[in-house]
Amino acid sequence: MSDNTYGDRLAIREALQQFGRLNQAVSDLSDEADLFAAGFTSHATVNVMLAIEDALGIEFPDELLNRSTFVSIDALAHAVGMSRGER
Amino acid sequence: MSERFAARAAAVAAVAAKYADEVDSNARPPLEAVQALKEQRLLSVSVPTRHGGEGASMLELSQIATTIGAADANAGMVFAMHHSQALILWRHGTKAGVRRTMRQVLEEEWLLGSATTERGIGGDARRSNCAFTYPSPGRVKVVKDAPVISYAEAADAILVTGRMNAEAPASDQRMLICPKGDYQLRKTGTWQALGLRGTASDSFILSAETSEDMLLDDDYGTISAHTALPTAHLLWSSVWLGIASAAVDQARSTVRRQARSSVGFPPPGQIRLAELMIDLQSFADSVRHQAEHFDRISDDPDALGSISFAMAMNAIKVTSANAVVDLVMKALRIVGIAGYRTDTPQSLSRQIRDALGAPIQINNDRLLTNNSPLSLMAKVDL
């Protein structure tokens, strides 16, 4: 796990709160919770992606732009790490 | 893209991309990419399995050409031109010298060039002034004043057209493989063009003497209709598709950057990008569809010789040449000033200049002229 992970998760939660159009408060969701079960849609993923990229100054590579990247806060945090070239 | 060659094509593309700007500004051949093609054994990839090769289909060659062309159109064009010559060997040659050249492509990754156009024939590759002469039994000679031989000085052999003999009419052509060592090149002009500057399409007088078993079996009319023309048009189109996709990628990354700074309020370019990506998809669909068309009939002489196939192969060239120009210009509008500049990472200078050659090299109007009488004789193959 990288040192960025706490900040990453905050930024991810902030992006989800603002643009995720979920049917429950992000603060009620665990890092492992299925976001699509909480009302996340593929249309909403676009703005969440852009907001995370903007907040963290990264760009998700094309190969990470699939449903599994957006399935949970954990998955998004992992994808952020991958985008920075971390494993 | 099919997985079979994806990694090897990507490896060549990475090398080609690294040197693309230098190749362009110095108007020199993409030698590093050619070396990478050899290392990745992609110059022999079209050798049929029955000759011990990997038997890449036209669809696979098309995909490789696009991948390399997106990185550097010059390197893509070398790949395209080489394979449209290489395929001639397997498809139209049986003599001992031709078979030797096949082995050299397979085992030594020989790079093949071609000398088809000639001064004084008005750009029509289906006519020759120069003639093959036979100075002694088993030997053949030719001297050709060629306005263009692409990457001649990097090639290991050059395929040359000429009249069958000194008495033959201009259209009665044969094709001869001239291996390195059996020809001299005297440069009469250098290639200084707006785009595709690295194809090194210089002018030369080529003087060759080699053994008679280096002649292809079929007359060049058949070689052209069945192999040289369709494969050249398909593979050039594939490279142009690569140029277009590189420009669209740049447009996409621009819009994404703009969207990031105002999440929830899509930037104006976003709808243009959506439109552009539809154009790119249909461009790709038509190129790949016609590549599969060739694969389907590639061993059927009647189908290859049909009017509808000739029209389709001219159509794909004309369509693709127009599409690449249209797409890069639309991409430029989206990328904006950073694409117009030549000193930015977003610059589309190379893509624009490379694309502009497409409707000109083998002029679209010449192909339309060729198609116009045919269009009275056959319907479009839907």
Give Cα B172 distance to the centre of its chain.
25
State whether B182 and B256 are in the same domain: no
Closest approach of chain B CAs to the CA of A46, in angstroms? 9
Angstroms from A48 CA to nearest CA on chain B: 8
Q: Is the pLDDT of residue A25 over 70?
A: yes
Pairwise CB contact (< 8 Å): B264 & A19: yes
Length in residues, chain B:
382
Report chain B residues touching chain A, CB-CB < 8 A. Answer: 253, 256, 259-261, 263-264
Q: What angle do CA B283, B300, B123 make, to 5 degrees?
A: 60
- Indicate if the pLDDT at residue A87 is higher than 50: no
Return the residue in A16, A18, A19, A54 with the most chain B beta carbons within 10 A, the one to mutate for interface testing: A54
Query: B347 in a domain, yes or no?
Result: yes
Task: Quote the pLDDT of residue B2.
Answer: 63
Q: Average the pLDDT over each of A9-18, A68-77, B118-127 and give the range with the smallest value.
A: B118-127
Q: Which residue from B55, B9, B5, B8 is spatially nearest to B239, judged by alpha carbons?
A: B9
Could you tell me if A60 lies within 8 Å of chain B, comparing CB atoms? no
* B118 and B106 assigned to the same domain: no
Token digits of residue B319: 């369509």
Q: How far apart are CA B91 and CA B223, in angstroms?
A: 8
* B200 in the same domain as B154: yes
Region class of A56: left (phi > 0), else alpha (psi between -120 and 50), else beta:
alpha
Domain end residue (candidates: B160, B188, B214): B214
Judge whether B39 lies within some domain.
yes
For residue B256, which residues of chain A lie inside 8 Å, CB to CB? 50, 53, 59
Q: Do A51 and B263 touch (CB under 8 A)?
A: yes
Please list every residue in chain A whose beta carbon sits closer than 8 Å to the beta carbon of residue B264.
Answer: 19, 47
**Cα B14 off chain centre by:** 20
Q: How far apart are the first and last CA of chain A?
A: 9
Answer yes or no: do B260 and A54 touch at CB < 8 A: yes
Q: Are A35 and A72 in contact (CB under 8 A)?
A: yes
Size of interface A-B (CB pairs under 8 A): 18
CATH (domain of B172): 2.40.110.10
Q: What is the pLDDT of residues B257-292, one digit of tens each?
A: 999 999 989 999 999 999 999 999 999 999 999 999
Nearest to B324 by CA among B367, B357, B291: B357
Separation between Cα atoms, residue A69 and residue B152, nearest integer Å: 49
- B263 and A59: CB-CB below 8 Å? no
Rounded average pLDDT over A31-49: 95
Percent of chain B with pLDDT over 70: 99
In a domain, B381, yes or no: no
Residues B123 and B255 in one domain: no
Flag whether pLDDT at B139 surpasses 50. Answer: yes
**What does the block give as tokens for B350?**
């190379």
Expressed as residue numbers, the domain containing B147 is: 113-214
Mean pLDDT of A36-55: 95
| Full strand arrangement of the beta sheet holding B157-163 | B112-115, B157-163, B173-179
E strand or H helix at B74: helix B73-92
In terms of DSSP bridges, do strands B202-211 and B183-189 run parallel, antiparallel, or are they unpaired? antiparallel
How large is the average pLDDT for residues B315-327?
97
| CATH code at position B44 | 1.10.540.10
Asked if residue B124 is part of any domain, the answer here is yes
CA-to-CA distance for B339 and B353, rounded, in angstroms?
12
Given a contact cutoff of 8 angstroms between Cβ atoms, the answer to whether A73 and A33 are in contact is: yes
- Whether residue B83 is found in the same domain as residue B121: no
Q: Distance (Å, rounded) from C-alpha B156 to C-alpha B174?
A: 20
The pLDDT, as a whole number, for residue B280 is 98
CB contact under 8 A, B261 and A59: no
Q: Is the distance from CB of B80 to CB of B42 less than 8 angstroms?
A: no
Interface contact A54-B264, CB threshold 8 A: no
pLDDT(A2) > 80: no
The answer, for A51 touching chain B at a CB cutoff of 8 Å, is yes
B125 assigned to some structural domain: yes
| Residue B286 included in any domain | yes
Final residue of a structural domain among B168, B196, B214: B214
The interface predicted TM-score of the complex, written ipTM, equals: 0.81
Q: What does the alpha-carbon distance between residue B158 and residue B176 come to, in Å, rounded to a whole number?
A: 8
Flag if B259 and A59 touch (Cβ within 8 Å): no
Work out the pLDDT band at B199, boundaries 50, 70, 90.
Answer: very high
Same domain, B119 and B106: no
pLDDT bucket at B179, cuts 50 / 70 / 90: very high
Domain tally, chain B: 3
Give the side-chain half-sphere CA count within 13 A for B343.
0
Q: What is the mean pLDDT of residues A32-49?
A: 95
The answer on pLDDT for A46 being more than 90 is: yes
- B54 by Cβ neighbours in 10 Å (0-12 / 13-18 / 19+) ranks as middle
Q: Which CATH superfamily is domain A5-83 in?
A: ACP-like (1.10.1200.10)
Among B187, B214, B241, the domain-final residue is B214
Q: CA–CA separation, B24 vs B17, rounded Å?
A: 11
The pLDDT-based confidence of B158 (bands split at 50, 70, 90) is very high
pLDDT value of residue B224 = 96
